[in-house]
């Protein structure tokens, strides 16, 4: 059977979608390979959040075209958010592409791959090839970006890798919030949640395969099910899901990303006090500390309500880590507006943050707003705010030195395979010495030192050592 290479751009949702496609192809006998040169099919799972991500994908696809000189039957395809947004226009940008598959059709990719392979074989048989290795002309591409009702229920079980201890678990698709800077409602569609029993069933199967921690995924994950499923008493559908997952024996840790501040009602905040398996880390996008800019972004909260929410979370679970996203250089952002973001970041002392320079996205209201800032001004604010956030993050890491921290060991460190890597309950990376017997284990370590972004621990206190 043909071999397949998948390259993923963007967020954890995209990573999870690529895993679904990979599993579907493997189930049909296709072989996954780690090098483009070995593949009969190359798929790029794309991102549209920033213009640069789209440019990278289109540039990459252009470079892949040369591989057809060695393999005229090579199938090239786009899938994901950029495919959804640009659709038919990609025939002009990338005329050599065979597949363009949108975000509600990941479950159909395997069918389309096999159809494209057949079409290319038929075209090759008819082509007057006078020289071995000559690239044949493009075939008529398969393009499917149409919405599909119930697509959230086509999400396949996660396929754990060998000795994997953590897994992403998609619980919903889409977003209805329509922030003025964001392309996600266009590329991912409206909110659609999977049934609780289906999600719990997948989580149980993950545990049976050795998974000890799941991260629930959704564009606005904590607003899960608000349109499809009823409250039970004062518990939202998302809290009902957390309660059900908490009962699974063998599932030791639960995380979720990315939430919306408006989804943190009292019942969810209280979960951090009463559910010990719910890890003490929240990624809570602020986006701006200026009420004027928040309103322009269509973010339905204020700096004061965000401040109160952080306080409520810290009161519910002392020591909880709070990380965030902030955009600098949004259209019309004055120095005073930027200073509000800077001041709030200093006050709240985030454990970490992703700072983004505003990027114009077509089909979003903010792209048409007046007073677009220069890239130079955005970069100045970006670097200044990074210095604030990095300082608070470093203080948080240094405060861990000398403490005992529970970690889940995820396996070899990405940067140094001779050492191990794990995460604390507050989602901080810990590097430590040790052998394969630690993989997938949860245990305490003593934190001995810290770098700008990483903790280092001593596993000597592990039971039996």
Q: What is the largest CA-CA distance in the chain?
A: 74
The whole-number pLDDT of residue 409 equals 96
- Domain ranges in the chain are 3-144, 149-279, 404-461
Q: Given CATH 3.40.50.12160, say whether it is the number of domain 3-144.
A: yes
The β-bridge partners of 457 are: 432, 447
Sign of CA dihedral 394, 49, 413, 256: positive
Residues 117, 41: contact at Cβ < 8 Å?
Answer: yes
Residues 412, 420: contact at Cβ < 8 Å?
Answer: yes
The angle formed by the CA atoms of residues 49, 54 and 56, to the nearest 5 degrees, is 125
Sign of CA dihedral 265, 271, 273, 277: negative
**How many CA atoms does the CB half-sphere of 116 hold within 13 Å?**
32
Query: Per CATH, which fold does 149-279 belong to?
Result: Transcription Regulator spoIIAA (3.30.750)
The whole-number pLDDT of residue 126 equals 63
The encoded tokens of residue 337 equal 């507006």
- Angstrom distances, CA of residue 207 to CA of 119, 210, 246, 307, 335: 41, 5, 12, 37, 50
pLDDT tens-digit profile, the chain (465 residues): 899 999 999 888 899 899 899 989 999 999 999 999 999 999 999 999 888 889 999 999 999 989 988 888 999 999 999 999 999 999 999 999 999 999 999 999 999 999 999 988 887 776 554 444 445 556 788 999 998 877 777 776 665 555 689 999 999 999 999 999 998 888 988 899 999 999 999 999 999 999 999 999 999 999 999 999 999 999 999 999 999 999 999 999 999 999 999 999 999 999 999 999 999 999 999 999 999 999 999 999 999 999 999 999 999 999 999 999 999 999 999 999 999 999 999 999 999 999 999 999 888 999 999 999 999 999 999 999 999 999 999 999 999 999 999 999 999 998 888 899 999 999 999 999 988 889 999 999 999 999 989 999 998 654 444
Class in CATH terms, 404-461? mainly beta
The whole-number pLDDT of residue 12 equals 86
The whole-number pLDDT of residue 160 equals 57
Judging by beta carbons within 10 Å of its beta carbon (0-12, 13-18, 19+), is residue 243 exposed, middle or buried?
middle
The whole-number pLDDT of residue 125 equals 72
Counting other chains too, the contacts that 429-432 makes at CB distance below 8 Å and 24 or more residues apart are 429/453, 429/454, 429/455, 430/405, 430/454, 430/455, 430/456, 430/457, 431/455, 431/456, 431/457, 432/407, 432/456, 432/457, 432/458, 432/459
Sign of CA dihedral 446, 391, 339, 376: negative
- Three-state SS for the chain is CCEEEEEECCCHHHHHHHHHHHHHHHHCCCEECCCHHHCCEEEEEECCCCHHHHHHHHHHHHHHHHHHHCCCCCEEEEEEHHHHHHHHHHHHHCCCCCEEECCCCHHHHHHHHHHHHHHHHHHHHHCCCCCCCCCCCCCCCEEECCCCCCHHHHCCCCCCCCCCCEEEEECEECCCCCCCCCCHHHHHCCCEECCHHHHHHHHHHHHHCCCCEEEEECCCHHHCCCCCCCCECCECHHHHHHHHHHCCCCCCEEEEECCCHHHCCHHHHHHHHHCCCECCEEECCCECCCHHHHHHHCCCCCHHHHHHHHHHHHHHCCCCEEEEEEEECCCCCCHHHHHHHHHHHHHHCCCEEEEEECCCCCCCHHHHCCCCCCHHHHHHHHHHHHHHHHHHHHHHHHCCCCCEEEEEEEEECCCCCCCEEEEECCCCEEEECCCHHHCCCEEEEEEEEECCCCEEEEHHHCCCC
The encoded tokens of residue 95 equal 């005329």
């Amino acid at each position: 059977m043909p071999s397949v290479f998948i390259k993923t751009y963007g967020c954890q949702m995209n990573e999870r979608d690529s895993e679904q496609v990979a599993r579907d192809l493997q189930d049909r006998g296709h072989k996954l390979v780690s090098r483009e040169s070995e593949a009969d099919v190359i798929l790029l799972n794309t991102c549209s959040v920033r213009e640069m991500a789209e440019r990278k994908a289109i540039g990459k696809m252009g470079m892949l075209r040369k591989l057809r000189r060695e393999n005229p039957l090579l199938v090239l395809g786009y899938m994901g958010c950029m495919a959804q947004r640009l659709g038919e226009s990609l025939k002009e940008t990338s005329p050599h592409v065979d597949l363009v598959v949108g975000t509600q059709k990941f479950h159909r990719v395997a069918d389309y791959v096999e159809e494209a392979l057949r079409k290319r074989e038929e075209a090759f048989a008819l082509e007057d090839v006078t020289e071995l290795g000559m690239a044949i002309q493009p075939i008529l591409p398969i393009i499917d970006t149409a919405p599909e009702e119930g697509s959230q229920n086509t999400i396949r079980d996660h396929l754990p890798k060998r000795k994997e201890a953590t897994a992403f678990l998609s619980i919903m698709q889409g977003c209805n919030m329509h922030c003025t800077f964001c392309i996600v409602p266009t590329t991912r569609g409206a909110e659609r949640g999977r049934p609780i029993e289906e999600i719990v069933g997948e989580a149980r199967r993950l545990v049976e395969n050795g998974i000890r921690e799941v991260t629930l995924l959704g564009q606005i994950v904590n607003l899960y099910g608000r349109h499809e499923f009823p409250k039970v008493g004062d518990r939202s559908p998302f809290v009902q899901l957390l309660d059900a997952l908490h009962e699974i024996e063998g599932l030791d840790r639960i995380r979720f990303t990315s939430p919306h501040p408006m989804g943190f009602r009292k019942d969810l905040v209280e979960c951090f006090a009463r559910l010990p398996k719910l890890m003490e880390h929240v990624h809570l996008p602020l986006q701006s500390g200026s009420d004027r800019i928040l309103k322009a972004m269509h973010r339905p909260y204020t700096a004061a309500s965000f401040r109160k929410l952080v306080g409520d979370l810290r009161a519910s679970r002392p020591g909880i880590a709070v990380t965030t996203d902030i955009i600098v250089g949004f259209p019309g952002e004055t120095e005073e507006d930027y200073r509000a973001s800077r001041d709030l970041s200093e006050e709240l002392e985030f454990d970490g943050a992703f700072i983004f320079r505003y990027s114009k996205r077509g089909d979003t209201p903010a792209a048409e707003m007046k007073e677009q800032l220069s890239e130079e001004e955005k970069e100045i604010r970006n670097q200044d705010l990074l210095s604030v956030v990095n300082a608070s993050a470093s203080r948080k890491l240094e405060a861990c030195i000398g403490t005992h921290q529970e970690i889940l060991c995820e396996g070899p460190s990405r940067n140094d395979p001779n050492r191990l890597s794990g995460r604390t309950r507050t989602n901080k990376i810990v590097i430590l010495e040790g052998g394969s017997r630690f993989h997938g284990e949860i245990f305490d370590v003593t934190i001995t030192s810290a770098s700008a972004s990483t903790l280092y621990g001593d596993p000597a206190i592990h039971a039996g050592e």
